[in-house]
């Protein structure tokens, strides 16, 4: 019986690692990561540099009686460098660093998790000064409720107790990281526990460039590579995604026996992460490719000729993921705010695809390719009307619920909106999208010749860079008389805008462009009158001839 019991204990103990005899051993990390390896998150780094400085020389901070924070909570989206920052602190401070992940304390056996927390802090206190890093703390630190498993509640309670059980002057700093700060128990984040909250957000354009540079250090990079362009084209990318981008590009270049990683490899890796792999196996008929070329050509042309639209970076008809083709536009900087002019321009660019289809193939032959464009245009128009006070009819009122999606308002009196307001909003959204479509269609009609040239080139080359698109438009409009000159002016305006130093010149060019445009409109209406007069003259001649006969 005793033998059987011992055997059972060994099996259970072995499989579940209850650590009865040995106690829970945490990992002591010896890190050679430094702050120089973590870039693009300067604010977070600055806060943590303080902690490193404190651990090296506590008196510097506590001289006047102040106390250093005991707990620091790093929070932000996945892959932004929280764990990397913690490793960098270990590397920089040169003090022992104990790492544990929240999931290590998740145990179905009551008391095991709590005991591991106790062990962790005991071990840390033997080596002061020391840093304890609790990664993914939401696994155990979520808000407690009476329905929670008792084991979870005990683990969290033990952490709270441990955090109270030492004073910051002892030299123990606890750093925790999470993607979900909002689910953490209030007791955990109150002053005296994790009272310093450091956000580690996705990097901005400068941060992205710096991160790309850090990861490109160990890669043989070609001379043509401009990491700023890649940084501009990757808004919303996390540090982890940027690191994977460089890695994918490097692997692909070496697979092709290239001597260095070129811009093409990096662009390809970016597209791969953003939109999935190229569907090179998908065979599309020439008809389909033409249709896509006109659709994408429509977007590109409207983008190039509309004041306020973002510069075109690339146009392609190579299918990727769900998309049959795409036009990529890049802002020069990350945009923190949008003007009404820019929003309307963005809507026009969205409408450019469908408008080109209608213009070239007729209304009967328009395709489903514009569904995501229409969604985007509608969402911009809805935001303008519902939330941004950009519709006179609806006024300076914010009606939008969270997300501001159409349909999210539901029926009844949701969001406290009256039926007449809802109807007015719908009407205004419809007006904005209709007007935008008309603008795009008129512009393309005016430059149909150029649209045809652009689509032809896209069918031929499949992918055109922004510069190639602009050159082609300029060339095509040059052959096309006065209308084209206006197009060239507008192209010039858009190109000038990209250089802030040329703002004054751009304003002049724009003014001239507008004046030329009105002259052109006058000429067009005069031409119409002349044609009508000629027709009248013809009819009169015919009438005279028949009466003479």
Ligand X SMILES: Nc1ncnc2c1ncn2[C@@H]1O[C@H](COP(=O)(O)OP(=O)(O)OP(=O)(O)O)[C@@H](O)[C@H]1O
Q: Which stretch binds ligand X (CB under 6 A): 39-47, 143-151, 272-280, 332-340?
A: 39-47
CB of 254 to ligand X, least distance (A): 19
For 358-385, what is the HEC assignment? HHHHCHHHCCHHHHHHHHHHHHHHHHHH
40 binds, among Mg ion, ligand X, none (CB under 5 to 8 A by kind): ligand X
Q: Tokens 């007729």 appear where? A: 362
Examine residue 243 and tell whether it contacts Mg ion (CB under 5 A): no
Inter-helix orientation angle 371-382/340-361, to 10°:
150
* Pairing relationship of beta strands 196-199 and 326-329 according to DSSP bridges: unpaired
Burial tier of 182 (Cβ tally within 10 Å: 0-12, 13-18, 19+): exposed
Closest CA relative to residue 175, chosen from 69, 264, 311? 69
Q: Where are the alpha helices (DSSP H) in 17-149?
A: 42-56, 59-62, 82-93, 112-125, 138-141
CB of 80 to ligand X, least distance (A): 4
- Residue whose CB is less far from Mg ion, 153 or 215: 215
Interacting positions 202-221 with ligand X (CB under 6 A): 211, 214
Residue 69 vs residues 66, 82, 113, 126: alpha-carbon distances, Å? 10, 18, 25, 20
Give the residue at shortest CB distance from Mg ion.
Answer: 83
Examine residue 111 and tell whether it contacts ligand X (CB under 6 A): no
Find the binder of ligand X among 91, 113, 239, 297 (CB under 6 A): 239
> Of residues 241, 296, 357, 428, which has the active-site annotation?
296
Rounded to whole angstroms, the Cα distance separating 323 from 369 reads 8
Examine residue 240 and tell whether it contacts ligand X (CB under 6 A): yes
Q: Which stretch binds ligand X (CB under 6 A): 11-19, 37-45, 328-336, 513-521?
A: 37-45
CB of 74 to ligand X, least distance (A): 8
296 as an active site residue: the answer is yes
Rounded to whole angstroms, the Cα distance separating 348 from 351 reads 5
**Are residues 243 and 251 in contact, defined by beta-carbon separation less than 8 angstroms?**
no
Examine residue 179 and tell whether it contacts ligand X (CB under 6 A): yes
Give the residue at shortest CB distance from ligand X.
Answer: 239
At 461, phi and psi to the nearest 5? -95, -20
Examine residue 83 and tell whether it contacts Mg ion (CB under 5 A): yes
**Are residues 113 and 124 in contact, defined by beta-carbon separation less than 8 angstroms?**
no
CB of 35 to ligand X, least distance (A): 10
Q: Which stretch binds ligand X (CB under 6 A): 34-42, 94-102, 502-510, 535-543?
A: 34-42
Rounded to whole angstroms, the Cα distance separating 122 from 248 reads 43
Examine residue 184 and tell whether it contacts ligand X (CB under 6 A): no
Examine residue 41 and tell whether it contacts ligand X (CB under 6 A): yes
For 230-267, what is the HEC assignment? HHHCCCCCCHHHHHHHHHHHHHHHHHCCCCCECHHHHH
176 binds, among Mg ion, ligand X, none (CB under 5 to 8 A by kind): none
Rounded to whole angstroms, the Cα distance separating 501 from 482 reads 29
Find the binder of ligand X among 26, 243, 342, 391 (CB under 6 A): 243
* Interface with Mg ion: number of residues (CB under 5 A): 2
Find the binder of ligand X among 52, 54, 72, 81 (CB under 6 A): 81
Residue-wise burial string across 411-423, b where 16 or more C-beta atoms lie within 10 A, e elsewhere:
eeeeeebeeebbe
Examine residue 91 and tell whether it contacts ligand X (CB under 6 A): no
- Residue whose CB is less far from ligand X, 79 or 96: 79
Q: Which stretch binds ligand X (CB under 6 A): 74-82, 124-132, 385-393, 534-542?
A: 74-82
Applying CB under 6 A, which residues contact ligand X?
A: 38-41, 78-84, 177, 179, 211, 214, 239-240, 243
Applying CB under 5 A, which residues contact Mg ion?
A: 82-83
Active site positions, annotated: 296
């Amino acid at each position: 019986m005793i033998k059987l019991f011992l055997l059972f204990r060994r099996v259970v103990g072995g499989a579940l690692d209850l650590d009865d005899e040995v106690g829970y051993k945490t990992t002591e990390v010896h890190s050679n990561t430094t702050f120089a390896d973590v870039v693009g998150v300067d604010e977070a780094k600055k806060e943590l540099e303080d902690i490193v400085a404190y651990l090296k020389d506590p008196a510097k901070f506590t001289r006047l009686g102040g106390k250093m924070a005991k707990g620091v909570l790093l929070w932000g989206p996945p892959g932004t460098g929280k764990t990397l920052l913690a490793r960098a602190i270990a590397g920089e401070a040169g003090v022992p660093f104990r790492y544990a992940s929240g999931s290590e304390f998740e145990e179905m056996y009551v008391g095991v998790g709590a005991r591991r927390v106790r062990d962790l802090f005991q071990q840390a206190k033997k080596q002061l000064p020391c840093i304890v890093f609790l990664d993914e703390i939401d696994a155990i630190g979520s808000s407690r409720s009476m329905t929670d498993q008792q084991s979870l509640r005990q683990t969290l309670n033990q952490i709270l107790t441990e955090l109270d059980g030492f004073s910051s002057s002892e030299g123990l700093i606890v750093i925790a990281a999470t993607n979900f700060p909002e689910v953490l128990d209030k007791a955990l984040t109150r002053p005296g526990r994790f009272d310093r909250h450091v956000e580690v957000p996705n990097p901005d354009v400068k941060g992205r460039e710096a991160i790309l540079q850090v990861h490109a250090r160990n890669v043989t990079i070609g001379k043509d590579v401009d990491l700023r362009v890649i940084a501009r084209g990757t808004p919303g990318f996390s540090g982890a995604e940027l690191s994977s981008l460089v890695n994918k590009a490097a692997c692909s270049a070496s697979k092709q026996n290239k001597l260095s990683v070129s811009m093409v490899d990096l662009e390809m890796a970016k597209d791969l992460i953003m939109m999935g792999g190229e569907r090179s196996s998908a065979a599309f008929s020439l008809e389909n490719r033409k249709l896509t070329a006109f659709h994408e050509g429509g977007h590109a042309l409207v983008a190039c000729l509309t004041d306020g639209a973002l510069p075109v970076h690339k146009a392609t008809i190579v299918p990727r993921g769900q998309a049959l083709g795409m036009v990529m536009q890049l802002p020069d900087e990350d945009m923190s705010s949008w003007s009404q002019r820019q929003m309307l321009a963005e809507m026009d660019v969205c409408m450019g695809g469908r408008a080109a289809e209608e213009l070239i193939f007729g209304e009967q032959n328009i395709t489903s390719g514009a569904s995501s464009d229409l969604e985007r245009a509608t969402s911009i128009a809805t935001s303008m009307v519902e939330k941004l006070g950009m519709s006179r009819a609806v006024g300076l009122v914010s009606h939008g619920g969270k997300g501001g999606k159409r349909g999210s308002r539901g029926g009844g009196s949701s969001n406290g909106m009256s039926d007449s307001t809802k109807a007015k909003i719908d009407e205004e959204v419809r007006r904005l999208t209709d007007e935008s479509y008309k603008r795009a269609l008129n512009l393309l009609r005016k430059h149909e010749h150029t649209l045809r040239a652009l689509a032809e080139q896209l069918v031929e080359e499949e992918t055109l860079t922004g510069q190639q698109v602009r050159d082609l438009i300029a060339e095509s409009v040059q052959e096309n008389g006065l209308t084209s000159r206006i197009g060239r002016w507008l192209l010039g305006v858009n190109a000038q805008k990209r250089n802030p130093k040329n703002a004054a010149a751009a304003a002049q060019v724009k003014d001239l462009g507008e004046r030329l445009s009105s002259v052109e409109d006058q000429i067009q209406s005069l031409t119409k009158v002349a044609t009508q007069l000629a027709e009248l003259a013809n009819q009169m001649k015919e009438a005279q001839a028949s009466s003479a006969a």
